[in-house]
Structure formats: C-alpha cells, structure tokens
Amino acid sequence: MTMKFLALGGLLALLALPSQSWAACSGPPLMIPGNSAELEGEIRVKSGTGCSFTISGIQGSISEVKILQMPKVGKAMVSNLRAHYMAKPGYQGPDEFTYAFIGTDRFGGPMRLVFKRKVSVVPSL
C-alpha cells in the first residue's frame, strides 16, 4: 500500500472502508492521516459483483464524491455520497479506478481525500 500525503491540516482519525453491502469484496481499511491526502489500496472483488466505499470516523462533512479515473474494465459510479465499483461479469484480472471525497474539515477548511484502488477481479464461485 502506497501513501502520498499532499498536506496535513491536523491529524484526523479517519478510515476508508470497502463496504460489504454490495457483494463479495475485501481489502484492508486505509488510515487517513489528514484532511488532504492521496492514498492507494488494493481490493479483491468477485467477478460480476461489486462493493461500495465510504468513510467513517470523519471529523468534518463530505459534500461530494467524484470518480476521477474510470476503471478500464468494470464500472464505477457514485450514489448517496458513496463510490461504487462493479466488476464485469466473466472477467478475471486487474482493474483500477480513482475517486475522491470532497468536503470541509471540522474547522470549516477544505477536505479532499483521493483514493486509487487497484482491483483484483477473481472468479465467482
């Protein structure tokens, strides 16, 4: 996992988690060190399924979620301030996409958290 820090405007205890609410996906949570960061993490998704991504423990508010780089094979979308990834049915192999949570920190300053997800699409059972 690679972490690139743009600016640390106070150390915030934030977590970016893949949600199990869609289907079979897994990946470690990412610790977010501040209100402006670029992070990279790996996830595994079963072919034909997907997962959604949210932030918990945030000390501020998210007003927008954007897909910055669409996946080459699967699909990415945003709804209800969550980023979603859907793996193409029948596909096995790598994919990646990038999304951002945008809002304000607890002091009213700007917050921009960018996540690059390297996806391993595995066969469905």
The CATH number given to whatever domain includes residue 69 is 2.60.40
Domain that holds residue 110: 3-122
Predicted confidence at residue 38, as pLDDT, reads: 93
Buried b (16+ CB within 10 A) or exposed e, 64-96: ebebeeebeebebeeeeebbbbbbbeeeeeebb
pLDDT (tens, 9 = 90+) of the chain, 125 residues, equals 333 333 333 333 334 444 444 447 888 888 888 888 899 999 999 999 999 999 888 888 999 999 999 999 999 999 999 999 999 999 999 999 999 999 999 999 999 999 999 999 999 86
Predicted confidence at residue 125, as pLDDT, reads: 67
Number of structural domains in the chain: 1
